[in-house]
Structure 1
Amino acid sequence: MDPLEDVLALLETRAHVSTGLMAGGEWAVRFGAPSGVKFNAVRRGGCLLEVEGTDRPVELAPGDCFLLTQARPFVLRSAPGVVPVDAEPVFAAAEGGFARVGRGDDVLLVGGRFSFGDRARALLLDALPPVIHVPAGTAHAETVRWALEQIGQELLQRPVAATLVAEHLAVVMLVHVLRLHLARESQGASGWPAGLADPVVAQALAALHGAPAHGWTVAELARTSGVSRSTLAARFKRTVGCPPLDYLRRWRIELASQRLRKGTETLAVIARAVGYGSESALSTAFKEVTGSSPRAYRGGPAA
């Protein structure tokens, strides 16, 4: 099992494609802090991205895309010093699926946002930098460019079910952007995403996600990864931030939490499904990790 796929599925990842932006001449647009993860891609032209709390602007060229993983206001502008206008009235006046600012259409951007389940920040977003920029020239970025081209065509031509197709393509783009980021800048990630960049730790993570109910030992994971027990234990803790079996326990509790939120299975059934031999064993582990009992969690506001 691919841990990235596993987490994105658990978080119920959804894409929401928004109105595009056409701009020309001197222009600048100020956006409020987005909900979820904001993404934009430059289909034509170029501009500057300025995100609140970051050190310097990001220069965006044709084919570039970016993700904002935190809720921070940002500005897109043609050049430094241009006074920005608020995005809300600009996009309220959009026609034909595109908002317009400045004079001309030298610049074309498509974008939207990704929404996730309640555990997204703890499981994924906190492990990523606030801005992920993928330049068009990034190695192995062909699939991202293809997805962006297809999204742009869907939004411009508006065939039947264009929004649905564009949103599915956006999720494909998200997976590839995260892959490229983790491969290119593993030091910019922490937790399990950082582990994916270490070939030894990645094999152990894949084994844990592939069979979370299995009674794993560190020695067995080490054999799966082709290293000694001590080597795996040290590399796993250094990259992921916790020992392998502690990670397994927390992932089992995430899986149990999802079943508690979404279904009506008994605690005994859930316990067996996630690798605990009894309801009491699950309850003990669940309370150690979450501070709440499974029964209280199922009936409480957090669920």
Structure 2
Amino acid sequence: MTTAEAETGDTLTEALTEVLSGARARGGLFHRAVLAPPWAVRVQDGAPLSLACMLRGDGWVLHPAAPQPVRIAPGDVVVLCGPTPYVLADDPATEPGLLIQPGDCCTTPDGTDMCEKLALGVRTWGRDADDPTVLLSGNYQLYGDLSTRLLDTLPPVLVLREGEWDAAVLPLVATEVVKDAPGQQLVLDRLLDLLLVSVLRAWFARPQAQPPAWYRAQSDPVVGVALRLLHEHPGHGWTVASLAAEAGVSRAGLARRFTGLVGEPPMTYLARRRIDLAARLLREPDATLASVARRVGYADGFALSTAFKRLRGMSPAAYRAEHGAR
């Protein structure tokens, strides 16, 4: 491997690490479902990201963005981007008999609450513990727990078979899901992050993988330089001209090449990068709006608030009130 190839690999690894570090569950939900055919569950809880794994038996995933139903077997894992509803079933033709609603509520199609009737223990539901199918599911509850770039990275439905990822983590997750111990929610949050990172790392590593445009652009000799600068120094007062000078090309040349490879202009990319970083910093208990603004490249809190509201749809104060500080 040449030095240039090694540096490109390091840059790609750093880019992936940065995106995956945006996954930080808080109050994530895990469930273990024990099922017997015929069964079908429509998940319409609005979660931004969900994972489903087969522990025993098999089933199907039906999602509006998938051209056809996807079969999943023991050890397989599927990642689903919300808030689009989807169906998990024993057969694609089975009509959903249960609906998973916002607020972790399970009902029949006519609205009857089934939570107590189907309770089989800690985070476990079903009718009989000996039924042949066991499905493990977990989801992120808050969009703030996932970077926008991570969500943009993912297809609506991502499936990895047992041999394509480190499925050895599943027994650990399955064991912890049914525990009711002190600090258990924190343990489950970190396991949800571990599960997602394990899946995405394996997904990116596949020979047939099609990583997102910004990821492929890291290896471009011009755009890669600009991206590295924006990642390493997001608070710097970058302009297209100063980035072009660092990359050794004209301003127009960089703007055209960057937009073509990444899918958006350099300054738009930088703005999103800054706001993602600001959202993460705002969850630190001692962070002030002014200090966060300085760290991510805004002159003051007012400028940050304007940009934050434009990209996130809410003010930094509203974001902190909704997501809280760690």
The yes-or-no answer on 1:238 pairing with 2:260 is: yes
Q: Does the C-alpha gap of structure 1 residues 275 and 174 become closer, same or farther in structure 2, counting only changes over 3 Å?
A: same
Q: Deviations over 1:58-116 (max 9, x none)?
A: 11011111122122332222224334311425654221232225894322211121133
SS at match of 1:176: helix
The yes-or-no answer on 1:194 pairing with 2:206 is: no
SS at match of 2:162: coil
Alignment coverage as a number of residue pairs: 284
- Residues 110-129 of structure 1 mapped to structure 2, 5 A cutoff: 110-118=136-144, 122-129=148-155
The yes-or-no answer on 1:32 pairing with 2:57 is: no
AA in 1 matched with 2:191: L
Q: Does the C-alpha gap of structure 1 residues 239 and 18 become closer, same or farther in structure 2, counting only changes over 3 Å?
A: same
In the TM superposition, residue 196 of structure 1 has moved relative to its aligned partner by 1.9
In the TM superposition, residue 127 of structure 1 has moved relative to its aligned partner by 4.6
State the percentage of identical aligned residues: 29
Report the Cα distance in structure 1 between the residues aligned to 2:225 and 2:199, rounded to whole angstroms: 21
Report the Cα distance in structure 1 between the residues aligned to 2:91 and 2:62, rounded to whole angstroms: 11
Q: Deviations over 1:166-220 (max 9, x none)?
A: 3311101112323333454664x6xxx5322444166754542222123554346
Choose the corresponding residue for 2:84, options 36, 54, 72: 72
- The two structures have a TM-score, normalised by structure 2, of 0.67
In the TM superposition, residue 151 of structure 1 has moved relative to its aligned partner by 0.2
SS at match of 1:19: strand
In the TM superposition, residue 162 of structure 1 has moved relative to its aligned partner by 4.8
Report the Cα distance in structure 2 between the residues aligned to 1:166 and 1:261, rounded to whole angstroms: 20
SS at match of 2:67: coil
> Which residue number corresponds to residue 94 of structure 1?
119
> Which residue number corresponds to residue 156 of structure 2?
130
Task: Give the superposed CA RMSD.
Answer: 4.1
Choose the corresponding residue for 1:107, options 107, 126, 133: 133
> Which residue number corresponds to residue 235 of structure 2?
213
* Aligned 8 A contact 1:47 1:76 in 2: yes
Q: Does the C-alpha gap of structure 1 residues 301 and 259 become closer, same or farther in structure 2, counting only changes over 3 Å?
A: closer
Q: Deviations over 1:214-237 (max 9, x none)?
A: 3554346648xxx99998765542
* Aligned 8 A contact 1:44 1:107 in 2: yes
SS at match of 2:119: coil
> Which residue number corresponds to residue 47 of structure 1?
59
> Which residue number corresponds to residue 82 of structure 1?
94
Q: Does the C-alpha gap of structure 1 residues 64 and 5 become closer, same or farther in structure 2, counting only changes over 3 Å?
A: same
* Aligned 8 A contact 1:51 1:73 in 2: yes
Q: Does the C-alpha gap of structure 1 residues 15 and 215 become closer, same or farther in structure 2, counting only changes over 3 Å?
A: same
> Which residue number corresponds to residue 7 of structure 2?
none
> Which residue number corresponds to residue 16 of structure 1?
28
- Residues 244-255 of structure 1 mapped to structure 2, 5 A cutoff: 244-255=266-277
Q: Does the C-alpha gap of structure 1 residues 15 and 146 become closer, same or farther in structure 2, counting only changes over 3 Å?
A: farther
Unaligned 5+ segments in structure 1 are: none
> Which residue number corresponds to residue 71 of structure 2?
59
In the TM superposition, residue 161 of structure 1 has moved relative to its aligned partner by 4.9
Q: Does the C-alpha gap of structure 1 residues 297 and 110 become closer, same or farther in structure 2, counting only changes over 3 Å?
A: closer
The yes-or-no answer on 1:154 pairing with 2:176 is: yes
* Aligned 8 A contact 1:183 1:197 in 2: no
SS at match of 1:137: helix
Q: Does the C-alpha gap of structure 1 residues 6 and 51 become closer, same or farther in structure 2, counting only changes over 3 Å?
A: same
Unaligned 5+ segments in structure 2 are: 1-10, 100-105, 108-113, 322-326
Of the structure 1 ranges 53-62 and 211-220, higher mean CA displacement relative to structure 2 is found in 211-220
Q: Deviations over 1:16-52 (max 9, x none)?
A: 242301223x222222312321211112221111124
SS at match of 1:209: helix
- The two structures have a TM-score, normalised by structure 1, of 0.72
Of the structure 1 ranges 77-86 and 129-138, higher mean CA displacement relative to structure 2 is found in 77-86
Report the Cα distance in structure 2 between the residues aligned to 1:228 and 1:22, rounded to whole angstroms: 61
- Residues 287-298 of structure 1 mapped to structure 2, 5 A cutoff: 287=306, 297-298=315-316
Report the Cα distance in structure 1 between the residues aligned to 2:176 and 2:25, rounded to whole angstroms: 21
> Which residue number corresponds to residue 189 of structure 2?
167
AA in 2 matched with 1:196: Y
